[in-house]
Amino acid sequence: MTTNTANVREAQTPLRDRYKKDPGTALVADHGQTSGVDLSDPFHSLVVPMPGCGAAVPISVHKALGGPHDAPTPGDVLCAALAACQDSSMRMIANLLGVELELLEVNVAGDVDVRGTMMVDRQVPVGFLEMRCNVRMRAKPGTDLRLLDQLKVASEKSCVVLQTLRAPLRVEVGYENC
């Protein structure tokens, strides 16, 4: 295991001070954008999680919807977003608490009844019915168990994606004919 000298408290202290003085500066916007490479192919697309960064993720349609599922589906990307957010929250809180992690794996799975999205049964809701986030972690031997409890509670509370999924926000959809 490599030793990292990253210090979350050092990085966040000036930000915390600024956000207390000027709360408006704490509002940030994340972005995602799709790009259909071949618009005649209804089963494949690309999603760019941060336009301008050059990273594009191929997207496929799940086989339960008739697609090839030969790349991540939007549902897989949502599960990955929760896994990534919980992982980074745990790492940052561990750093703040002085907890040395020896192992951290976050696995997320979600269940969807596709009859809803395929309009086979209009009584079936469209969307995930349930998601499970399983965190496997091991701290350095001798770590105070109270610190580990603090780590678990604080990382859940500060995980933006987890909290968004638990208390969904309003989403506006607009359309433009070009």
Count of domains for the chain: 2
How confident is the model at residue 35, as a pLDDT? 79
8 Å CB contact between 149 and 139: no
Task: Using the predicted structure, report yes or no on whether residue 71 has a pLDDT greater than 90.
Answer: yes
Q: Cβ distance 72 to 57 under 8 Å?
A: yes
Owning domain of residue 80: 73-167
**130 and 152 belong to one structural domain:** yes
Asked whether the predicted pLDDT for residue 2 surpasses 90, the reply is no
Residue 49 and residue 108 in one domain: no
pLDDT at 3: 54
Per-residue confidence (pLDDT) for residue 54, from 0 to 100: 75
Asked, for residue 10, whether it belongs to a domain, the answer is no
Q: Say if residues 88 and 73 touch (Cβ distance below 8 Å).
A: no
Residue finishing a domain among 10, 41, 72: 72
Residue 113 tokens read as 């009844």
Residue 5 has pLDDT above 80, yes or no: no
Residue range 67-71: mean pLDDT, rounded: 95
The overall average pLDDT reported for the chain is 93
Give the rounded percent of residues in the chain with a pLDDT score beyond 90.
86
Query: Looking at the structure, do residues 40 and 79 belong to the same domain, yes or no?
Result: no
Strand (E) or helix (H) holding 32: none
Check pLDDT > 50 for residue 1: no
Q: Does some domain include residue 177?
A: no
Which carries the bigger pLDDT value, residue 119 or residue 55? Answer: 119
